[in-house]
Amino acid sequence: MSETVMLHIFAYDIADDRVRARVSKCLEEKAVRVQESVFEGQMTARIANRVFDSLVRLVMPGDSLRMYAIDRTTV
C-alpha cells in the first residue's frame, strides 16, 4: 500500500544565524524555498515527520518551527 503524497509547509523564526543556516540547508535538501523562512515540498507524512524531527534537534528554546500538511481538498 502506497502512502499519500501531500504538500508540506515548513516555516521557522530562528534568532541564531548559524542555527538558521543549518535549518535552511536541511530544508533545501527536501523542499523548495518559497520565502526567506518558508519552504514547501511534496512528500509523504513519514518523510515530512523525519525532516521535522531532524529540524527539531537543531533549534534552540525560544525558536519557532512549524510544519503544516495540506491535502488537495484544502488547496
CB 23 within 8 A of CB 14: yes
Of the chain, the percentage scoring pLDDT greater than 90 comes to 88
36: DSSP letter: T
Domains of the chain: 5-70 (3.30.70.240)
pLDDT of residue 1: 53
d(CA 53, CA 69): 15
Backbone dihedral region of 62: left (phi > 0), alpha (psi from -120 to 50 degrees) or beta? left
Choose among 37, 45, 43, 44: nearest CA to 10. Answer: 37
Does the predicted TM-score (pTM) go above 0.75?
yes
- Write the pLDDT tens digit of every residue in 1-35: 568 999 999 999 999 999 999 999 999 999 999 99
Residue 75 C-alpha cell reads as 488547496
Report residue 62's pLDDT band, with 50, 70 and 90 as the boundaries: very high
CB 8 within 8 A of CB 40: yes
